[in-house]
């Protein structure tokens, strides 16, 4: 990615967790450093085999925290949250959204990179790259964590210098002091949802408006630009059936388009909610990964047009202004849940894939202790 999309985000996260050679995360595609890096990587892989150095020997909850803090400091893709929770699960480490939110409240955004900032990944590389940025936050990182190089993260970033203070900000002049990506919870998302607040319109981070609900992606595409759609800039656009079960594969549909008639009126951002993901290159006030998803019977399945939805990012809340009695009535009237396929991979997937807050991995691949509920019974 030329911006801080998911690929660039995960490259930075992977290096911060110790899985790559120093400086591997940000090398632009067209320069010879790639060839040198490939040779170094191959040699080190052989050495690791002789040393019997496996990822499980240096992958810890502390190195996962390093990955999370890196993702936050670079204004990274929301997809990194799902990936890191899944990685932790394979290791038997119970990484939760609450831990992510705890780190979000104390980690500054230092990389001024699109789509949250102004510059491109090539600029980041020329400004000193990931090592230089991490060197500015050593007090936050677990620098004693080991890496594939056989050295600690602290040793790996020692001496790295920032060349361009506009691209990699100082701690005294961050892009944001904290909270580049935030966890929200409330009666619409009991298990949590996320918003990349650094890429949203600040005026919408506290907002209440009426819902316009799209039951699925095809319905959204059909209706979103209809001139007769009863929508204003205050409306809250909602897409459901877009989570790991509702649209198998958990697609990147979360950046719902702005209705054409509002675009023509000058509207450039709206509050948009879904149980989908979005691309790391996306932006706007998009609330994502709502869990449980609608297809798993989450509250999102019960929202109706006109319901008032409120988000308050500073307070980390999302609230659906409908009474408990009305919610119970709607649930009683709700149709039968989505049926589990009878056979094959689709059945295995539907029975065993976890929700967004648990990493969207197969539960039988997790090293966690038993206890969490499968998505569909």
> Which residues are identified as catalytic?
279
**Distance between CA atoms of residues 272 and 236, nearest Å:** 6
Q: Which residue has the tokens 């995360």?
A: 25
d(CA 330, CA 339): 20
Name 150's Cβ contacts closer than 8 Å, sequence gap at least 6. Answer: 51, 53
> Which tokens go with 232?
């204003």
CA 158 to chain centre: 29
d(CA 153, CA 288): 32
- Cis peptide, bond prior to residue 115, ω within 30 of zero: yes
What gap in Å lies between CA 87 and CA 170, rounded to an integer?
31
Q: Are 181 and 81 in contact (CB under 8 A)?
A: yes
CA 90 to chain centre: 18
CA-to-CA dists, residue 142 to 55, 89, 106, 362, angstroms? 17, 20, 14, 29
By the 10 Å C-beta count (0-12 exposed, 13-18 middle, 19+ buried), 104 is classed as: buried
Q: How far apart are CA 310 and CA 94, in angstroms?
A: 30
- Sign (positive/negative) of CA torsion 144, 147, 152, 158? negative
Cα distance between residue 311 and residue 315, in whole Å:
9
Q: In angstroms, rounded to a whole number, what is the distance separating the alpha carbons of residues 85 and 92?
A: 10
CA dist 179 and 167 (Å) reads: 19
Tokens of 120: 């491109």
Task: Respond yes or no on whether the N-terminal peptide bond of residue 225 is cis (omega within 30° of 0).
Answer: no
């Amino acid at each position: 990615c030329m911006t801080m999309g998911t690929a660039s985000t995960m490259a930075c996260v992977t290096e911060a967790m110790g899985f790559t050679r120093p400086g591997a995360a940000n090398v632009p595609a067209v320069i010879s450093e790639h060839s040198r890096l490939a040779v170094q990587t191959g040699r080190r892989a052989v050495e690791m085999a002789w040393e019997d150095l496996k990822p499980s020997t240096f992958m810890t909850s502390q190195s996962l925290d390093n990955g999370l803090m890196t993702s936050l400091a670079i204004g990274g893709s929301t997809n990194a949250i799902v990936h890191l929770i899944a990685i932790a699960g394979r290791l038997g480490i119970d990484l939760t959204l609450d831990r992510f939110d705890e780190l979000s409240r104390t980690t500054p955004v230092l990389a001024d990179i699109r789509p949250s900032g102004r510059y491109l990944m090539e600029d980041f590389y020329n400004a000193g790259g990931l090592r230089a940025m991490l060197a500015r936050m050593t007090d936050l990182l677990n620098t004693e964590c080991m890496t594939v190089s056989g050295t600690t993260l602290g040793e790996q970033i020692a001496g790295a210098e920032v060349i361009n203070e506009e691209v990699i900000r100082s701690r005294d002049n961050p892009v944001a002091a904290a909270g580049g990506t935030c966890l929200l919870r409330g009666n619409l998302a009991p298990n949590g949802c996320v918003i990349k607040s650094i890429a949203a319109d600040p005026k919408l981070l506290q907002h209440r408006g009426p819902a316009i609900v799209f039951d699925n992606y095809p319905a959204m595409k059909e209706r979103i630009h209809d001139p007769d759609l009863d929508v204003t800039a205050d409306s809250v656009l909602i897409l459901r059936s877009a989570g790991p079960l509702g649209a198998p594969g958990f697609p990147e549909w979360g950046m719902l388009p702005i209705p054409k008639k509002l675009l023509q009126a000058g509207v450039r951002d709206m509050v948009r909610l879904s149980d989908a993901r979005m691309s790391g290159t996306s932006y706007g006030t998009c609330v994502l990964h709502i869990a449980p998803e609608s297809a798993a019977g989450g509250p999102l399945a019960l929202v109706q047009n006109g319901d008032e939805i409120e988000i308050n990012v500073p307070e980390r809340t999302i609230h659906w202004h409908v009474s408990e009695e009305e919610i119970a009535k709607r649930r009683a009237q709700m149709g039968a849940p989505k049926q589990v396929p009878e056979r094959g991979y689709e059945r295995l997937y539907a029975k065993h894939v976890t929700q967004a807050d648990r990493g969207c991995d197969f539960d039988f691949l997790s090293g966690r202790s038993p206890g969490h509920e499968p998505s569909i019974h």
